[in-house]
Chain A
Amino acid sequence: MPVEVTMPQLGESTYEGTIGKWLKQPGDQVERFEPLVEIITDKVNVEMPAPFGGTLTAVLVAEGATVNVGTPIAMMETSGAVAAAADVRPAGAPPPPPEDGDGERARLSPVVRRLAEEHGLALDEIAGLPGSGAGGRLTKDDLLKYLERRAGGSARPAAAVTAAPRPPAPPGTVVPAPSRPFPPPAAPSGTDDEVVKLSPLRRSIAQRMAQSKREIPHAYGVIEADVTMLTRWREANKEQWRAREGVNITLTAFFIKAAAEAIKVFPMVNSAWTDDGILMRKAINIGVGIALDEGLIVAVVKHADQKSLVGVARDLDGLGRRARDGKLTLEDVQGGTFTITNPGVFGSIWSMPIVVPGQAAILATDAVVKRPVVRGEGIAVRDIMHLGLSFDHRIFDGAVAVQFLNRLKAKLEGFPGGDAALTDF
C-alpha cells in the first residue's frame, strides 16, 4: 500500500526542514531504518532513516527546498500490514509533543477560536499574536482589539499581498508608536532596501527569544570578579596543558566548572517553570553559546558537574568543531538545563542575555579587562570581569541570583594558581 513519508520534527523547536540530498531514488528498494534522505534544520543535519521498508515511489520535495514539519516529502509502497504497524517516527526523533504541550501548538480558548472563524482569520495568523493572558495566552479582548486595529487598516493585511507604500508623514507630525502587534515595516518601495530571507536558524532564534521575553519576567544581577590569579595561572600554563592534554583549556571551561559547582549549592538556578510547579532538574547540562556566521547555536556539555576540567574542555572543543563543520547531532544541542553565553570574546563588558525557554537562568561571562582597583590602601591593576545572571523571576529572587554569582566569584577568585595542577581547580 502507498504511504507518505513526512518531514520529521528534529529537535525541540524546529518546525521546518530543508532537503539536503536524497540518498535513495524513486524505484529504489529501501529497508526500514536505512538512510533515506539528508535533512538540514536550523540546528543539525541528519540522515533520516526510512520509516518503512518498501519501494520509494516518488520524491515530492526537491533537494534544497524547505518545508514545514509534517509535510509529505516522499511516497513509498509498502507491503500492507507492515506500514500500519510501523512506527512512523524516524528512529532518533523525539516523540511528538503532547497535544497541548509546549506552546508549539497554539492554545486558543473556545471563544477566540469561534471569533477567529467568524471573522475568517486563519488560526496560524492569530496564533502568533501576542496575548495578555497567562503565559502570553491570546484572550478574547486581545483578539477583539486586533480585529479593531485590522479593520482600521493599521494591522497587517490578512493575505500576503503587496502592501501599498505608506504615504510619508507630513513634516512635523509625530508618527504614532506601533501598538501590538507591531505592524511590519513597509515593504521596500523603490529604495535600495532589501528583505533578507530568514534562515531556519534565524527564524528559530527569533521565535525562541520572542517567546522567552513574552513569557519570562526577566530580572538581572551583575557582580564583578577579580580573575587575575586565574588568568595568570592559565597564561603561564596553557601551552604546557595543551601539549599534555591535547586540548586548549579555555576560560569557558573554568566558568562551566565553577557554574556547575555553584548550581549544586543553588539548585534552583537549574530548574524550569511549569504551571504545576518548579521543575528541579537533577542533571546539570550546561549549554554554551557558539557564534557561527549564520547565528548563535547553543551546544550542551552534559553532566558538567561530573566531568573534570579537562573533560569539559574536551567536550567544548568537540562541540565547537562540530558546530563550525555543521556536524552537530541532536544529542549535542538538546537537554540543556542552564546556559552560559560568552559575549566577552567580542569585547562586551556588560551583557544582559535572554533566558533560554525552559530554563531558569543564563550566565553572561563578559570580557576580562585590566582595571585599576583599590586593594587595601593602594590601587592595583587587576584582571576584572563582570558575571551577569539573567533569571526567571517567577522561579527565584535576586537574593538567590546574587548568592549564586558570589559563589561563582568565590570559586574563580579563590583559586591560588601558582604551581597548582589542573585537577585542583
Chain B
Amino acid sequence: MADLRYIDAINQAHHEEFARDERVVVLGEDVGRKGGVFGATAGLLEKYGEGRVIDSPLAESSIAGVAIGMAANGLLPIAEFQFADFIHPAFNQIVSEAARMRYRSHNAFGCPVVFRTPFGGAHGTALYHSQSIEAFYAHVPGLKVVVPSTPADAKGLFKAAVRDPDPVMFLEHKRMYRIVKGPVPDGDHVVPIGPAVVRRAGTGLSVFAYGWMLHEALAVAEELAPEGISMEVVDVRTLAPLDTDTVLKSVAKTSRALVIYEDNRFCGYGAEIAALIAEEAFYDLDAPVVRLAGPDVPGIPYSKPLEEWFFTDRAKIAAAVRALAGL
C-alpha cells in the first residue's frame, strides 16, 4: 500500500486495467503523446501503442460516438474528455445512445464505455473549466455515475467502471488531483459501484457530500468537534444508483441532514438526496433538511472575490452546520 496522489491512483488504475485485459482502450484529446491534459494516461502510449491509446480530434461528440461503436464491437473503451465543460456536445451520444443501448436492444447489447472527465471548480478556472455536470447525467436511467473522493476509491471505482457491462460516467473533481493524497491498496483493488461510505461517524447531524465538498465537510467536522458538534460525514461516491440505505440509516441516527454540492443549487444532485430524506425519513427528522450549494448563476466567475462568493467553502459549511445543529 502506497500513498498516492489522486491523479496517480487514476493513472495506476489505467495501467493495471490495460495490462489485465487487452480489450481496454483509451481515446480522447491528448491522451496519447501528451499523456492526458492532467496526466491520467501518462505512459500508456509508450507501453501499448497507438492501437490502444488514441489521440482523437477536438470533437467530443465523435469521441463518445466512436467509443460506443467500439463497445458494440467488443472493446472496453475509456473515453476521456479533457474538461467536463466540453462534454456537452457528446450529451446526445451518451444519453440517447449509450445509456439506452441495453433497454433499446431488449437486453441484447450492453455499452461498456467509461466516460471519464474532470469536473468542478479549482482556483481561477472560471466559466469554461469549472462546471459541475453530475446532475445532468444522474438524471438519466441507464447511466451509472460515480464520483470517487479518495485515491483508493479513484483506483477501485475506476476498475469497477472499466469492468462494468454498462456505461459509467466517471467524474473526478479536478481540485483533488494533486492536493488529495492517500493510501492506495496495491494490486487488483476494486470498489463496487453503488455503496456509499460513512467517512466520519457522528451523532449530531449527517452531512452528505462528494468530490471536493466531501473534503471540505470533513475538515469542518474536525474544526467543529471541539464545539460539541458531532458531524457524521457520508461520502456518497456513487450518485447513480444512489445508496439509499446508507443515507437513510444515517438520518435515522442523527435526525438532521445537510446536503452539500458545489453545483448550482436549483435542481442540483443534492436535491435528490434531500427529497429522498423528506419522503423516506420524515419521521426521523428533527429539523428541516438543508441544502448548501452554489448560487444560481450561470457559471463560476473568474474574478477572485466573485469566485469566492460562488464557492461553498469551509466557512459557509461551518455556518450551515452550526445553524442546523442549533435548530
Contacts and interface: CB of A to CB of B under 8 A. Distances in A.
B285 A111 contact: yes
A171 interface: no
B315 interface: no
Interface in B268-327: 282-287, 326-327
Contacts of B255: 109, 111, 140
Interface residues of A, number: 12
A96 interface: no
Given A111-B255, A134-B327, A139 B283 contact: no
A147 B26 CA distance: 61
B282 A137 contact: no
Interface string A99-119: 000000000011111100000
Interface string A305-323: 0000000000000000000
A112 B286 contact: yes
A165 interface: no
B283 A111 contact: yes
B261 to A, nearest CB: 24
A110 B284 contact: yes
Nearest to A109: B286
Contact of B327 (A110, A112, A114, A137): A137
B142 to A, nearest CB: 35
Interface in B171-193: none
A133 interface: yes
B202 to A, nearest CB: 14
Nearest to B323: A134
Contacts of A134: 326-327
A110 B285 contact: yes
B283 A110 contact: yes
Interface string A346-373: 0000000000000000000000000000
Contacts of B282: 110
Nearest to B284: A111
| Main DSSP-derived SS at the A contact region | helix
B104 to A, nearest CB: 42
Nearest to A108: B286
A111 B327 contact: no
Contacts of A113: 283
Contact of A114 (B283, B287, B326): B283
A133 B327 contact: yes
A148 B282 CA distance: 24
Interface residues of B, number: 9
Q: Which of A109, A137, A139 has the most CB of B within 10 A?
A: A109
A226 B286 CA distance: 53
A141 B229 CA distance: 13
In this complex, the member of A110, A137, A140 whose beta carbon has the largest number of chain B beta carbons within 10 angstroms is A110
A312 B231 CA distance: 57
Contacts of B286: 109-112, 133, 139-141
Nearest to B282: A110
Nearest to A112: B286
Contacts of B287: 109, 133, 139
Contacts of B284: 110-111, 114
A134 B286 CA distance: 12
A114 B284 CA distance: 8
A114 B285 CA distance: 10
A141 B230 CA distance: 13
Nearest to A117: B283
Interface string B52-80: 00000000000000000000000000000
A142 to B, nearest CB: 10
A407 B287 CA distance: 43
Nearest to A113: B283
B166 to A, nearest CB: 37
B83 to A, nearest CB: 42
Contacts of A139: 286-287, 327
Interface in A67-112: 109-112
A133 B283 contact: no
B58 to A, nearest CB: 52
Interface in A262-319: none
Interface in A132-150: 133-134, 137, 139-141
Interface string B205-228: 000000000000000000000000
A110 B277 CA distance: 12
Contacts of A109: 255, 285-287
Interface in A8-58: none
Contacts of B326: 133-134
A148 to B, nearest CB: 15
A139 B255 CA distance: 10
Nearest to A114: B283
Contacts of A133: 286-287, 326-327
B322 to A, nearest CB: 12
Contacts of B283: 110-111, 113-114
Nearest to A132: B326
Nearest to A134: B327
A224 B166 CA distance: 81
Contacts of B285: 109-111
A109 to B, nearest CB: 5
A103 to B, nearest CB: 16
A112 B287 CA distance: 10
A137 to B, nearest CB: 7
Interface in A245-264: none
A133 B324 CA distance: 10
A137 B286 CA distance: 10
B129 to A, nearest CB: 39
A113 B285 CA distance: 10
A114 B281 CA distance: 11
A137 B324 CA distance: 13
Nearest to B287: A109
B288 to A, nearest CB: 9
A130 B30 CA distance: 64
Contacts of A110: 282-286
Interface in A197-216: none
Nearest to B283: A114
A140 B204 CA distance: 11
B9 to A, nearest CB: 40
7 contacts: A109-B255, A110-B284, A112-B286, A113-B283, A133-B327, A134-B327, A140-B255
Given A112-B286, A133-B286, 18 more contacts: A109-B285, A109-B286, A111-B255, A111-B283, A111-B284, A111-B285, A113-B283, A114-B283, A114-B284, A133-B287, A133-B326, A133-B327, A134-B326, A134-B327, A139-B286, A139-B287, A139-B327, A140-B255
Interface of A: 109-114, 133-134, 137, 139-141
Q: Top 5 closest A-B pairs, CB basis?
A: A114-B283, A140-B286, A109-B286, A111-B286, A140-B255
